[in-house]
Amino acid sequence: MKISLFGATGPTGKYLIEEALRQGYSLSVYTRDAGKLAAYADKIDIVVGDLETQDAIKKCVTGSAAVISALGPNSLAVKGTLPVMHGLGNIMTAMKDANVNRLIQVSTAAYRDPKDRFDFKSQAMLAVLKLIARKGVEDVQATAKLISDSDLNWTLVRIPNLKDGPSDGDIDVGWYGQRKLGTKLSRGNLAKFLVDQIASREFTRAAPGIANRA
Ligand SMILES: NC(=O)c1ccc[n+]([C@@H]2O[C@H](COP(=O)([O-])OP(=O)(O)OC[C@H]3O[C@@H](n4cnc5c(N)ncnc54)[C@H](OP(=O)(O)O)[C@@H]3O)[C@@H](O)[C@H]2O)c1
């Protein structure tokens, strides 16, 4: 079964590609720089384009059972206005054209789910982040709103700070303020949770928070 990956050229991408291959999926991976995926060139299909290149995005998603996106601001200085949200809009258009309905997107506690309760730790971290990376926070919020307002079969996977490390399955999953969620998550645990969502309906049209068990 084929799945499409977006935003898989960053540090999480390596874990995501390896986990998806390990689970037996064939991969179409989108990038603006094929050189970043050179290590996987013989194992995956690489589609090159930016987040405005509608034809290439459609080529990437066509025939896929699901799209996983780890797209997100990767520096404190975001260029342009809501670039990730606009990119997701283009991906979602391509998904509709290609009859692909399942979208799994990385997000953060910057997006508040109606099931959340007050959670001091995540809100304090968010307040600091808004001071140093306001445009990035706004892009994450706008992206999540666009997806959660859509009629796709979506899951927003809300994460705290990432660290390199394997998947050990030792994670907490739940809603902020309802479940104690730590402030760190290994990229291996994130990758496994994202790929596991393809076959799962547990978090359809839902935005669980996940974190390594403290
Ligand atoms: N690092 C953390 O502690 C942390 C905390 C909370 C949330 N997150 C989110 O978790 C995800 C993975 O983070 P990470 O640190 O492992 O990797 P990352 O380097 O932040 O990965 C971001 C991915 O998004 C792509 N991207 C960003 N802006 C883009 C744009 N305007 N056009 C096209 N592609 C764009 C990057 O592509 P290029 O490689 O081409 O730049 C990369 O593949 C990201 O969504 C990040 O925002 C990270």
Which residues have CB under 8 Å from 88's CB, separation 6+?
A: 69, 71, 105, 143, 146, 147
With a 6 Å cutoff on the Cβ, whether 141 touches ligand 1 is no
Q: Nearest residue CA, atom 26 of ligand 1? A: 71
One digit per residue, pLDDT tens: the chain, 214 residues?
Answer: 999 999 999 999 999 999 999 999 999 999 999 999 999 999 999 999 999 999 999 999 999 999 999 999 987 778 889 999 999 999 999 999 999 999 999 999 999 999 999 999 999 999 999 999 999 999 999 999 999 999 999 999 999 999 999 999 999 999 999 999 999 999 999 999 999 999 999 999 999 999 999 8
What pLDDT sits at residue 75?
78
Ligand 1 pocket test target in 74, 143, 161, 184 with most atoms within 8 Å of CB: 74
> Residue 104: enclosing H or E segment and its boundaries?
strand 102-108
With a 6 Å cutoff on the Cβ, whether 10 touches ligand 1 is yes
Q: Is 107 left (phi over 0), alpha (psi -120 to 50) or beta?
A: beta
Q: Nearest residue CA, atom 40 of ligand 1? A: 32
Ligand 1 atom at minimum distance from 11 CA:
16
CA 2 to centroid of ligand 1, rounded, Å: 22
Q: What is the pTM of this model?
A: 0.97
With a 6 Å cutoff on the Cβ, whether 7 touches ligand 1 is yes
What pLDDT sits at residue 79?
86
Beta strand 171-174 pairing with 161-163:
unpaired
Closest CA to 48 of 37, 62, 64, 63: 37
What pLDDT sits at residue 20?
98
CA pseudo-torsion sign 37, 88, 117, 174: negative
Beta strand 161-163 pairing with 102-108:
unpaired
With a 6 Å cutoff on the Cβ, whether 162 touches ligand 1 is yes
Closest CA to 16 of 202, 144, 162, 148: 162
Cβ atoms of 69 and 104 closer than 8 Å: yes
What pLDDT sits at residue 135?
95
CA 71 to centroid of ligand 1, rounded, Å: 5
> Residue 190: enclosing H or E segment and its boundaries?
helix 187-199
What pLDDT sits at residue 173?
98
Neighbours of 102 (CB within 10 A): 20
Delineate the domains of the chain, giving CATH numbers in brackets: 2-212 (3.40.50.720)
Cβ atoms of 48 and 37 closer than 8 Å: no
CA 12 to centroid of ligand 1, rounded, Å: 8
